[in-house]
Structure 1
Amino acid sequence: MNRSACLIFNPVAGQGEPEQELAKIKEILSPEIDLDIQFTTPEIDADQLAQAAVERGVKIIIASGGDGTLSAAAAAVVGKDVSFGIISRGTANAFATALEIPDSIESACETILQGATRSVDAAFCNGFPMVLLTGIGFEAETVERADRESKNRLGIMAYVLAGLQELGNLETFDVEIETEDKIIKTRAAAVTVANAAPPTSILAQGPAGIVVDDGLLDLTILAPASKTAAIASAFHLFQTASAGNATERDDIGYLRAKQFKITTNPPQKFVVDGEVLGNTPLEINCIPSGLQIFVPLVEEEELVEKLEGLPNLVVEMK
């Protein structure tokens, strides 16, 4: 007997041909999974479709679209006994990259068919679901500048160009950050709180090595003294993230906590998983093991050892 699943499909995501992409998904999944296909529209978002599926008792929900679609669909699944499949078709595909899920349609579908799941953390930011990150200040302004037309035309480069343009408007703000055990006050140009983030999300990479199932959120503060320092800080974050090392610059700070309350003066826009959703203040809370995500099967590595040549070697077999 085939499994059944609700497929939530965003027909305007990414730069491909949606009809062909949907046909490919159906070709791969339909022989083994009975698909109930639901389309997002300007009036009906992915979270509404996913919530309706949960209420119908659906045990597998698959979302296909950009990071905003995936995050919205995940909202209805957090804390539920539902397995969540990801088929990324967006511009950045940060969601899939951060969770080590293939971003090609074929490989993503095969991952779902394999049936292996992993528990990962989720979070809520002012009531909005957050799987990846929340950006305050510079990142939010950059995302807003990269409109749909430029993303369709330029792809990921739309974000790069928007970031370079936004540097001309770089402004700092006072920020107060409250955790379970401390209150931090400083001045910053960007504050990023990450649950999961690919290395390309450089403003989230202060601590590097973000862990998606540790029950903690990672906060990075970028506080450059000038536009030149901002460029240098961003480049440093790129280098350290690529090497898997924590940052060492004085104008970058980071910490980990289960929750954050953040206020700014003046109020700043914030972006959650690629969507600008409001202005500060905000509160972010981690939901440990909040999602059951389909992930690729990992082959167990063969144990390798080399002992020969060690001085005074004695090996006793048990």
Structure 2
Amino acid sequence: MKTKIHFIVNPISGKGKNELCPTLLATYFPEADYDLVIKKTEFANHATQLTNSSMEEEAEIIVACGGDGTINEVASCVVNTSIVLGILPMGSGNGLASNLKIPKNRGKGLSIIRNRNITSIDTATINGSPFFSNTGVGFDAHVISDYEEKARRRLFSYVQSTFRTLKKFNTGPVEVSCDGFRETFSPFLLFVSNSNEMGYKMSLTPKASLQDGLLDLIIVPKLSRLKLIYFTILFLFKKHHWMKEVKFKQVNKLKIKSLDDTVLKIQKDGGLFVPDSPDIEIVLYPENLKVCVP
């Protein structure tokens, strides 16, 4: 019986103009052994619809071809099922793919899917909405909000959004509680990570693991301008843990409450997520997503 593999392609991820050539696919997946389907997204959240239809068509492997946002949409559908997630990184950051050591080289990526070396990874939800790499409340969420307003999405655009956000960023007080820990503060950064990379080879949580049953939490309160510069320099050299203001914890669930009842901006796997409540709950679920890896 042929193996059914469906490819969900986001044509505008990363540098855009992404294509998946049927002739190339045939080189790795002979027609005698595989039943292949290519679907292209045309609008926001279309990958979710396409993945759901592929599940109804009994696809055994569904491959997310795009960036972390596309992966999030596809993986959100297949989590807690027997369907295997494949990844062809075509985005700009590609944080989750990099953590899983899945290369951007198209041929190598297809070989990984063909070889079907499958592992199970942890996933998490924020107010019930799945994420797989990281989520954050504070500066990173506001940077993503600015970034998503721009037509061109490149590393330079991300840098521009970072500097624009620095000039206007402000978040009110929040209460964070987890595993007996409770603290009230106004965050510069409140970052929760399942993986050890954010994208672009940058990391706030280099020790995070997709298979340890824990989320890595980093708390950075509001900083003076001088300390902010110092934090940025340390971050670039992966030494931000040197700052006494920076706190790290490992948790399997946590709650965040906006104390001024503001609905907080949140980034989730590199995309903007606005909850419908000032109260936020983040929960980890161990090894409930099957993924093709090298």
Q: TM-score, normalised by structure 1?
A: 0.82
Residue in structure 1 matched with residue 265 of structure 2 by the alignment: 269
Residue in structure 1 matched with residue 52 of structure 2 by the alignment: 51
Residue in structure 2 matched with residue 164 of structure 1 by the alignment: 163
- Give 1:78 shift: 1.1
CA distance in structure 2 between the aligned counterparts of 1:137 and 1:278, rounded to whole angstroms: 12
The answer to whether the Cα contact below 8 Å between 1:14 and 1:91 also exists between their aligned partners in 2 is: yes
C-alpha spacing 1:199/1:18, structure 2 compared with 1 (3 Å) = closer
CA distance in structure 2 between the aligned counterparts of 1:18 and 1:199, rounded to whole angstroms: 22
2:36 is paired with a residue whose SS is strand
Residue in structure 1 matched with residue 142 of structure 2 by the alignment: 141
- Give 1:171 shift: 2.4
**Equivalent residue letter for 2:151:** E
The answer to whether the Cα contact below 8 Å between 2:95 and 2:198 also exists between their aligned partners in 1 is: no
CA distance in structure 2 between the aligned counterparts of 1:51 and 1:274, rounded to whole angstroms: 22
CA distance in structure 2 between the aligned counterparts of 1:251 and 1:49, rounded to whole angstroms: 45
Bigger Cα Rg: 1
The answer to whether the Cα contact below 8 Å between 1:40 and 1:46 also exists between their aligned partners in 2 is: yes
**Equivalent residue letter for 1:3:** T
RMSD: 2.3
CA distance in structure 2 between the aligned counterparts of 1:203 and 1:169, rounded to whole angstroms: 23
Residue in structure 2 matched with residue 218 of structure 1 by the alignment: 216
- Give 1:224 shift: 4.0
Residue in structure 1 matched with residue 87 of structure 2 by the alignment: 86
Runs of at least 5 residues in structure 1 that lack an aligned partner in the other structure: 297-318
Identical aligned residues as a percent: 26
Q: After superposition, where does 1:152-301 map in structure 2 within 5 Å?
A: 155-198=154-197, 205-206=204-205, 208-240=206-238, 247-266=241-260, 267=262, 268-279=264-275, 280-296=278-294
C-alpha spacing 1:286/1:201, structure 2 compared with 1 (3 Å) = farther
Deviations 1:251-271 (A, max 9, x none): 211111111111124432001
The answer to whether the Cα contact below 8 Å between 1:233 and 1:252 also exists between their aligned partners in 2 is: no
The answer to whether the Cα contact below 8 Å between 2:95 and 2:201 also exists between their aligned partners in 1 is: no
C-alpha spacing 1:170/1:228, structure 2 compared with 1 (3 Å) = farther
Q: After superposition, where does 1:60-99 map in structure 2 within 5 Å?
A: 60-99=61-100
Runs of at least 5 residues in structure 2 that lack an aligned partner in the other structure: none
CA distance in structure 1 between the aligned counterparts of 2:233 and 2:24, rounded to whole angstroms: 38
**Equivalent residue letter for 1:12:** I
Selected match of 1:150 from 145, 152, 175: 152
2:151 is paired with a residue whose SS is helix
- Give 1:136 shift: 0.9
Residue in structure 2 matched with residue 42 of structure 1 by the alignment: 43
2:241 is paired with a residue whose SS is coil
The answer to whether the Cα contact below 8 Å between 1:25 and 1:105 also exists between their aligned partners in 2 is: no
The answer to whether the Cα contact below 8 Å between 1:223 and 1:251 also exists between their aligned partners in 2 is: yes
The answer to whether the Cα contact below 8 Å between 2:127 and 2:282 also exists between their aligned partners in 1 is: yes
C-alpha spacing 1:202/1:282, structure 2 compared with 1 (3 Å) = farther
**Equivalent residue letter for 1:295:** V
The answer to whether the Cα contact below 8 Å between 1:138 and 1:189 also exists between their aligned partners in 2 is: yes
Q: After superposition, where does 1:104-115 map in structure 2 within 5 Å?
A: 104-115=105-116
**Equivalent residue letter for 1:213:** Q
The structure whose RCO (Cα within 8 Å, separation 6+) is larger is 2
2:235 is paired with a residue whose SS is helix
**Equivalent residue letter for 2:4:** S
The answer to whether the Cα contact below 8 Å between 1:28 and 1:109 also exists between their aligned partners in 2 is: no
- Give 1:27 shift: 4.3
Which has the larger displacement, 29-38 or 1-10? Answer: 29-38
CA distance in structure 2 between the aligned counterparts of 1:175 and 1:28, rounded to whole angstroms: 53
- Give 1:101 shift: 1.2
2:144 is paired with a residue whose SS is helix
